[in-house]
Structure 1
Amino acid sequence: MQLPKLTGSVLSGLHCFLIAADQMSFTRAAEILYLTQSAVSHKIKNLEASLGVQLFIRQPRKLLLTEEGKRLKAVVAHNFGDIVHEIRDLKTLELSGDLNVSVPPTFAQTWLLPRLKHFIDKYPALRFHLRTRNDLVDFQTESFDCAIYFGHGKYAGLHSEKLMDETILPVCSHEYATVHNLYEQPDNLISCMLLHDAAPWARAGRNDEWQYWAQRQGVTLPESGCTFDRADLALQAAERGLGVAMGRMSFIAEQLATNRLVTPINRPVRSPLSYYVVCRQEVVSSPRIKAFQQWITSEISD
């Protein structure tokens, strides 16, 4: 398929084609574009003539994409998405507008939220939008500027900047540790209720974090336990004497300082995963993303 020149008519036709291909209806495309149905049909015919290929199979009550139409739709959708992102970046060079960030739930609640006012005060013209989730973002189809991941830092087609490492060790209430004789007695974990974060990182199993720690300590773990879909819920359950949770040091500083949690088996292990700021390669230089990443780095240093 050859495209001799990207004239204004061709670009307009490509936009019209994308809407029609999404809707699979010239009538619905016309409503979205505030055009008549005949105008949409005329734009598509002109585009087909310019490209020298048929894009739609027109049937009495429905449209079908030809193979060429399917290929063109995929390319146009991807590149128009890049154009939208770039225009938004150009409009926000002065650190105004929207910043959409995806963050793991417990990291958001225990680490980011207590510090977020500093960032908002520093960049008052930015509208900060925080969404929490444990799974990875699809940057091609979702409108996130960047995300914080707890992982290995290698994500195909994406740019990642390491923020900080993590250390893990078991935590519980003082009363629970006393009753179960846990102080420096790791073998007694076998008789305890383990509290699991069911999704400590993307695609992890519910036992993965506990097993990683136990294997490095030579400790046998019980089969039974409770699972939670957020680490902070497991930690709250530990505070209330339900059992022993695997604590991350970045999450539990306040609970340890106020004795709401204790570390009866004081054998910390360096987590195999770290925290990263992740974004699409083409927006690495976005002033909004750079400001956010630099601010987090300075907060960690402090």
Structure 2
Amino acid sequence: MLNLPPRAGSRLNSSQFANLHTFLVAARHLSFARAADELCLTASAVSHRIGRLESALSIKLFVRLTRQVRLTEEGERIFRILQNAVGDLSEALQQSSQADIAGAIVLYARPSVAQCWLVPRLADFARRYPLVSVDLRVGNESVDFRTRNIDLALYYASGDFPGLTGLKLMEEQMAPVCSPEYAKRHRLVDRPGNLQHCTLLHDSLAWENASHDAEWRLWARQHGMEASLPTRHFTFDSSNLSVIAAMNHAGIAIGRQRLVQERVSRGELVLPLGDFSRCGHYDYYLVHPPLDPVPRRLLVFMDWLKECANGALST
């Protein structure tokens, strides 16, 4: 147990800068061992540096448990302050003397919206902001902003993001889609009862904690067709894969309008059971940690994304 002196005399001087950086890394990982790996130190050295910082500041930063550490309330507050300060410094260093908007943006996105909606539009952003680079990473899990170097996430979700800032980018509608050949073979047009003879194609990771058939169940409840859903199915870990399977006559998938409208317009997919409709409260959101201020490069990227979302559905 640390015995800290009264806070009245606490001071921060230049000798503590290395310790502050060590604290920032340890707080991000909530692990002295992982911080040691990143800093090329021993876990004992990390612990000693943080101990010296706590003594100098007269603040207890961590609660040291048997196999882990967690931040105290004061430690959490200092961590947020340091994160913002480092972000502000990085932003300042990335600006040119002409105050051009420059730097890198690390974006995490769901695979299907990245592939079908975002990537085809990136050339326009590159033309407008040639000094801003985008590092796009995709995955199906919710990203931990504390432990991963991510600036912004693009989620398909219900809009609940505790402790984070979320902005609805665009709404989504859905409808069953399949190839023209598949619709003709199963006589689906204007005969919804024939759906029970089809193979359903599922995005098994449609949103966080979704069941493998969540989108189909959502659509069926909206249209009073839960009893008509067949049991035969194929599952995929992205919406786009289920749609590609549908285009190749493997079955019928739930298509999200933002992602499949162009394929429908080209005749590669048809809507045999009716047009797109709202079937729930799942939409696309931009999510990031609370930032004050938001870096300029991130602001222009988010504004550009909103412009894309408010424009035509196709590229």
Superposition TM-score, scaled by structure 1 size:
0.82
Change (3 A) 1:178 1:86: same
- Contact 2:22 / 2:35 at 8 angstroms: preserved in 1? no
Q: How does 1:257-268 map to 2 (within 5 A)?
A: 257-268=265-276
Pairing 1:155–2:148 present: no
Change (3 A) 1:29 1:288: closer
Q: 1:251, 1:24 → 2: CA distance?
A: 39
Q: 1:230, 1:241 → 2: CA distance?
A: 17
Instruction: Report the CA distance between 1:70 and its aligned residue.
Output: 7.0
Change (3 A) 1:127 1:53: closer
Q: 2:125, 2:170 → 1: CA distance?
A: 18
Percent identical: 33
CA RMSD of aligned residues (A): 3.6
Instruction: Report the CA distance between 1:11 and its aligned residue.
Output: 4.2
- Contact 2:151 / 2:288 at 8 angstroms: preserved in 1? yes
User: How many equivalent pairs are there?
Assistant: 290
Aligned to 2:237: 229
Q: Secondary structure at the match of 1:183?
A: coil
Structure with the largest fraction of strand: 1
Q: 2:91, 2:259 → 1: CA distance?
A: 33
2:302 aligned to which of 284, 288, 293: 293
Q: Secondary structure at the match of 2:278?
A: strand
**Cα offsets for 1:66-102 (capped at 9, x unmatched):** 9999758777666544433332233335421110001
Paired AA for residue 87 in structure 2? H
- Contact 2:172 / 2:257 at 8 angstroms: preserved in 1? yes
Paired AA for residue 270 in structure 1? R
1:91 aligned to which of 86, 93, 100: 93
Pairing 1:238–2:246 present: yes
Aligned to 1:121: 127
Q: 2:61, 2:293 → 1: CA distance?
A: 35
Q: 1:210, 1:42 → 2: CA distance?
A: 55
Q: How does 1:60-99 map to 2 (within 5 A)?
A: 71=72, 79-93=81-95, 94-99=100-105
- Contact 2:175 / 2:256 at 8 angstroms: preserved in 1? yes
Aligned to 1:59: none
Instruction: Report the CA distance between 1:236 and its aligned residue.
Output: 0.8
Pairing 1:200–2:210 present: no
- Contact 1:102 / 1:146 at 8 angstroms: preserved in 2? yes
Pairing 1:282–2:291 present: yes
- Contact 2:24 / 2:82 at 8 angstroms: preserved in 1? no
Q: Secondary structure at the match of 1:277?
A: strand
- Contact 1:239 / 1:261 at 8 angstroms: preserved in 2? yes
Q: 1:130, 1:181 → 2: CA distance?
A: 41
Aligned to 1:214: 220
Larger Rg belongs to:
1
- Contact 2:166 / 2:286 at 8 angstroms: preserved in 1? yes
Paired AA for residue 213 in structure 1? W
Q: How does 1:128-207 map to 2 (within 5 A)?
A: 128-207=134-213
Q: Secondary structure at the match of 1:157?
A: coil
Q: Secondary structure at the match of 2:115?
A: helix
Unaligned runs of 5+ in 2: none
Q: 1:55, 1:286 → 2: CA distance?
A: 27
**Cα offsets for 1:125-165 (capped at 9, x unmatched):** 11210011122111111111111111122211111221111
Superposition TM-score, scaled by structure 2 size:
0.79
Q: Secondary structure at the match of 1:269?
A: coil
Q: Secondary structure at the match of 1:227?
A: strand
2:258 aligned to which of 244, 250, 255: 250
**Cα offsets for 1:246-300 (capped at 9, x unmatched):** 0011111221122111111114321421111111111562211211111112122
Instruction: Report the CA distance between 1:233 and its aligned residue.
Output: 0.9
Q: Secondary structure at the match of 1:120?
A: helix
Q: 1:202, 1:177 → 2: CA distance?
A: 31
